[in-house]
Amino acid sequence: MLQKPRGTRDFLPEEMERRRLIEGRMRSTARAWGYREVCTPIFEHLELFTMKSGEGIIQEMYVFEDKGGRELTLRPEITAAVLRMYVNEAKVLPKPLRWCYFADCFRYERPQKGRYRQFWQFGVELIGADTAAADAEAIMLSDAVLRAAGVRFDLHVGHLAPMKHLVRDLPAEEQRAIMAFLDKHNIAGLEERLTEKGQHDLLESLVALTSCRTPAEVFAVTGDLPERARIEETFAILDAQHIAYTPDFGIARGLDYYTGMVFEAFAPNLGAENQILGGGTYRLAHLFGGDDAASCGFAIGFDRVMVSLGEFPVEHEPVVGVVCTPEARIRAFEVAAAFRDAGIRTEVDLMQRGLGAQLSHVAKVADYAVVLGKREAESGTVTLKNLHSGEQQEMTLADAVSEVNRLGHR
């Protein structure tokens, strides 16, 4: 028996209904903020991602050569593809562009709980606005989307300028090493590395920075920075809108990628792999032949959101099962069509079972049975049976449709 590929999943109807419900809430929230959905190809030229992240990312991707000898890859994330699309298709559109997406991505890595080789992301990209207000909007929207999904989360907000200022005199390789320690919250490893190099003052400043909880505390460590006014304005907007967040200037999302404000969200019930959102300000368009457009955005790990939410009941629309005797089989399709035209999910027996077997089956999958026997066939009526209460009544087809709509969800 063939199995699904490692790191992938099958979703049965109940789980798909839960996923579509949460996905729909995310989309509706983003749309209320003016963000419109975009879609990019499931595969792209390999160069799109190596230009952004370097050759090292190749081992984490599904890379292949097509029949024309072109190096392609299944997309490992969406941001680069969206900015490529902006350069190709949308440079002249009015700014800022407010775009969102929901799409599956692919990474070749060891599967574990909440981490798969095929996974889904919901994301937002705000292109062409280089202001504190834009930074704040991205953070506030991320908060709104996660709240709409119903997940419990802790939001952390920081800015890279203070950290970049402290490590500005170090070689790029050393900066990356320090950022790797901070990104993994490995303060012990950072202390060991910097102590070995005799960089005690830098260590003290970095440790102090990671514990700062207000912009004022940050600037007491770093002194004034050119970005000070923007940082203070961003935090002021968040505070004025009563956004619940933790200032965290120890966030070290890639220095080569993000340019300023950064933020992350964590689901406390997920254990070690608990990050469900990451974002910040960045500049990518120029790498792909476009202008140096300021951008800001975030991506949500949709699969981790669903793991965090766990199983929960979904309110179903009423389901009708039409059961019939042989002489009413043709009319059964007419009756089913009337319910479907009213927006009611309706099933008709396709197995040519007896009336009792049909009723037994319908009781497992539907809320109402519409019975068509000899009497109903002769009179042009139907018998509507509520499968939860057991009540049943003979009536016209139009009245049966109205009754199901009136009673609504189960």
Please give the structure tokens belonging to residue 242: 């009563």
Contact, 58 vs 50, CB < 8 A? yes
Does the annotation flag 282 for ligand binding?
A: no
Report the C-alpha gap between 54 and 17 in whole angstroms.
38
Where are the strands (E) in 75-191, listed by range? 97-106, 118-127, 154-159
Does the annotation flag 78 for ligand binding?
A: yes
Q: Name the nearest CA neighbour of 167 among 209, 195, 132, 135.
A: 209
Does the annotation flag 3 for ligand binding?
A: no
Report the C-alpha gap between 260 and 282 in whole angstroms.
7
Half-sphere exposure of 188 (CA within 13 A, CB side): 0
Q: What is the 3-state secondary structure (H, E, C) of 287-346?
A: HHCCCCCCEEEEEEEHHHHHHHHCCCCCCCCCEEEEEECHHHHHHHHHHHHHHHHCCCEE
Does the annotation flag 77 for ligand binding?
A: yes
Mention every residue, 6+ apart, whose C-beta is less than 8 A from residue 118: 7, 8, 9, 104, 105, 106
Does the annotation flag 121 for ligand binding?
A: yes
The annotated binding site for L-histidine is made up of 77-79, 107, 121, 125, 253, 257-258
The annotated binding site is made up of 77-79, 107, 121, 125, 253, 257-258
